[in-house]
Structure 1
Amino acid sequence: MARLLIIGGFLAAVFWVFSIVDCALQPATRHRGVRKAAWIAIVILIPVIGGILWFVLGRRRADDQSTRLIAPDDDPEFLRSIDKTEQDARIAELEAELARLDDEGGEGPAKDARQ
């Protein structure tokens, strides 16, 4: 029985230290609920239960959608908000200018190659 208490105490101490280090090293954006300092205090003052609370409630995962940044070209909401009328007008203007340049028949290597 004494061996189990010693092993259990050792494992609890290792978990406690690991919880403190993990909480302290996480960036402030990965903490849920309260501030980082409050989580560190909770983990230190309530050794095993504080560590369990940290891993269950306080630690935000890296793949959590609320902190994940999405590039603008991957964000459907951003793509819907883009006003495409200006782009379409500019493309039409460039195509008209290109057609005008083709109609002028400028001398160049491309025209010589077609003959």
Structure 2
Amino acid sequence: MRFLLLAALYVALTAYAVTDVLNKGQESYAGLHRSAWIAIIILAPYIGALIWLGLQWRSGGTAGPPSPRAPDDDPDYLRWLRQQERRKGNRD
């Protein structure tokens, strides 16, 4: 029973940490690439996930600027829309 509890804790902790790594907007964090963090979390049971969570707690868990919420707030979409309007204007 104790083994099952430890295995469930490992799976939950690892799943949370890997999901958190993948949801970060950065390709690298604390000097390591995203794939390296995932490898550390999976290959170092408990320790890798706890290191990742400790770094997140220490940094305040900030992920950077928020992503645009609607197409009207997305600068790339607005740029594309302006290009489409210019192309349409050239055809008339």
TM-score normalised by the shorter chain: which range applies?
A: 0.5 to 0.7
Runs of 4+ in 1 over 4 A off after TM superposition: none
How far does the alpha carbon of each residue in 1:39-68 deviate from its partner, in whole angstroms, 9 at most, with x for none?
1121122131110111113x34218xxx67
Correspondence 1:26 to 2:24: yes
> Does the C-alpha gap of structure 1 residues 7 and 45 become closer, same or farther in structure 2, counting only changes over 3 Å?
same
For 2:27 and 2:35, the matched residues in 1 are separated by 13
Please name the residue that 2:7 is paired with. Answer: 9
For 2:30 and 2:54, the matched residues in 1 are separated by 10
User: Identity of counterpart residues, as a percentage?
Assistant: 24
8 Å contact from structure 2 (residues 27, 33) kept in 1: no
For 2:11 and 2:36, the matched residues in 1 are separated by 20
Gaps of 5+ in 1: 69-115
Please name the residue that 1:55 is paired with. Answer: 53
How far does the alpha carbon of each residue in 1:4-33 deviate from its partner, in whole angstroms, 9 at most, with x for none?
221121111111111111111111177223
Gaps of 5+ in 2: 66-92
Q: How many residues align?
A: 62
Flag the structure with higher strand content.
2
Larger Rg: 1
TM-score, length basis structure 1? 0.44
For 2:18 and 2:52, the matched residues in 1 are separated by 9
TM-score, length basis structure 2? 0.53
Q: CA RMSD in A?
A: 2.4
